[in-house]
Structure 1
Amino acid sequence: MHPMLNIAIRAARSAGSVITRGFENRDDLVVTAKRDHDYVTKIDKDAEQAIIEKIKQSYPEHTFIGEEGGVVQGDDTFKWVIDPLDGTTNFIKGIPHFCVSIALMYKGRLDQAVIFDPIRGDLFTASRGAGAQLNGYRIRVGKQKDLNNGVFATAFPFKDKTQLTEFMPKFTRIFAQSGDVRRTGSAALDLAYVASGKLDGYFESGLKPWDMAAGELIVREAGGLVTDFAGGNDPMQKGEIVAGNPRVVQQIVKQLK
């Protein structure tokens, strides 16, 4: 295992311990609205701090980009992109579907990735050029050949509902041709599920780098294709993503266009 991936796993498990303790004591949660329909708790912040502290023990000079703490400037050669609790609304409501997401970018390229589901104990990992794993076993994207009978995931633009007018026709076209479409509330886990063949594809817009960085690498290393809505190869810059095996992605992009 790559040494930096090993540190990322330790950091993810450390954050997972913070999250599971918080989940067991949700009656004590103090919830703050960052903006409309977008929430943060002390658990989010404590989990992010646990991740940064664990990584800094080995790599104190690196840069950190976190959802809650912003940028902690350091050596830009190594950038850790962190979502300490992806699926905060699920967490608040007691829905056991959320995760820790950590990615390392080396010289601007995704290099290491961890997505950890602390409730199920599922650990998704990837190193650039070395494949993707779930709990130590190699994973691959599904073999779905088209949208028909496939199961896909997305999210509605709940933070800016003015975008519904533009989004719904795209959703309707894909939904009409597919077996079903899920809306789970965790972008990172959706991507991990695509990588492991649990979902056949995923599409969403309005995302931040920490929502998709780890998932993007894990999908790619599992043999999948990741693009933006136009089929381009830089979804983090666009804030939109399509993921799945190449055949499925091509057909989703066609509908989105």
Structure 2
Amino acid sequence: MSEQRNEPVVGSKSFTAVAINCAAKAGQWINTKLGAYSSLNLKYSSHDLVTEVDKGSEKMIRSLILTHFPTHSFLGEEGVEAGPEASTKALESLRDEEYLWIVDPIDGTTNFVHEFPYYAVSIALAHKGEVIVGVIYDPTRDELFVAEKGKGAYVHGKRMLVSKEQTLRDSLVATGFPADHQYALPVNLKGVQAVAPQVRNLRVAGSAALHMAYVAAGRLSGFWEIGLNSWDLAAGALLVQESGGKVTDTSGQPYHLGVRNVVASNGHMHDELTAALGKAGAAG
């Protein structure tokens, strides 16, 4: 790491090294706080929790990144007011920056609060609006998912490839229960009702970032959810794409940082999944 600090021009490998270092340090610290957080507050709804551990993790990551790259911009979940309008506004104000770090300090805070071992640190770096580095770290399993644009995606140092299921009926698919109870949750529940009978089975584990990482690793055939934010999706989207999968919005249009209603899959059953959501009025 000391050599990277001395480089006058820092290349993509150094970007990735810093992202990995930040995710690992934050994740290890988060695990020391498991069952020991001191404050719990509601943000947008009863499904949208925040603790001082979320805020501490984001502060740590931000400090480490800006130590290496002081001119870069930073977008973290805990630095944005709750709710979809505030999230959209925050992204719009930064998305055209040359380098933008997009961070979810704990994706799956509800799981963390209940000591349910399915949460992660998600860090992405976008260059002029295009994600070029994605890192998701699961501290419970010590699993590090890493992708660089055009260079593949890896877990445990091994190249990841998406699964081979060709149809929905053979697929294991995941979704989530959105924090927005007024709009996103009812729409997503329509999708659950429509998709569940058509797939091998459905999973709702509570971390969009890890669901995306699992699609990339071939553990899930696909994932969809309504009403997500850039920090939920940016790192995972690159992981899926670099593993040979497909990421779009729920109408089938290509992924970009502003996408809130997402479908990620192995690519083979992607159109069938988006069609099922559209037919059910569950595309948002």
Q: With structure 1 as the length reference, what TM-score do the two structures score?
A: 0.94
Q: With structure 2 as the length reference, what TM-score do the two structures score?
A: 0.85
| Match in the other structure for 1:14 | 25
* Identity among equivalent pairs (%): 38
Whole-angstrom CA distance in 2 between matches of 1:114 and 1:28: 25
Contact 1:18 1:46 in 2 (8 A): no
Q: Which amino acid aligns with 2:239?
A: I
Compute the RMSD of aligned alpha carbons: 1.9
2:226 to 190, 193, 205: 205
Instruction: Tell me the SS of whatever aligns to 2:169.
Output: coil
Contact 2:230 2:259 in 1 (8 A): no
| Match in the other structure for 1:60 | 70
2:65 maps to 1:44: no
| Match in the other structure for 2:204 | 183
2:238 to 217, 222, 225: 217
Q: How does 1:82-97 map to 2 (within 5 A)?
A: 82-97=103-118
Whole-angstrom CA distance in 2 between matches of 1:28 and 1:109: 35
Contact 2:30 2:57 in 1 (8 A): yes
Please report how far the alpha carbon of residue 163 of structure 1 lies from its aligned counterpart in structure 2 after TM superposition.
4.6
Q: Which amino acid aligns with 2:102?
A: V
Q: Which runs of 5+ in 2 are unaligned?
A: 1-11, 81-89, 279-284
Q: Which runs of 5+ in 1 are unaligned?
A: none
2:138 maps to 1:117: yes
Whole-angstrom CA distance in 1 between matches of 2:132 and 2:195: 32
Q: Which amino acid aligns with 2:29?
A: V
Structure 1 residues 158 and 60: alpha-carbon distance in aligned structure 2, compared to 1, 3 A threshold: closer
Instruction: Tell me the SS of whatever aligns to 2:131.
Output: strand
Whole-angstrom CA distance in 1 between matches of 2:60 and 2:193: 41
| Match in the other structure for 1:252 | 273
Whole-angstrom CA distance in 2 between matches of 1:159 and 1:63: 27
More strand by share: 1
| Match in the other structure for 1:69 | 79
Give deviations 1:64-108, integer Å, cap 9, x for gaps.
0000024697x9200000000000000001101100000000011
| Match in the other structure for 2:42 | 33
| Match in the other structure for 2:166 | 145
After the TM superposition, which segments of 4 or more aligned residues of structure 1 sit over 6 Å from their partners? none
Please report how far the alpha carbon of residue 158 of structure 1 lies from its aligned counterpart in structure 2 after TM superposition.
4.3
| Match in the other structure for 2:253 | 232
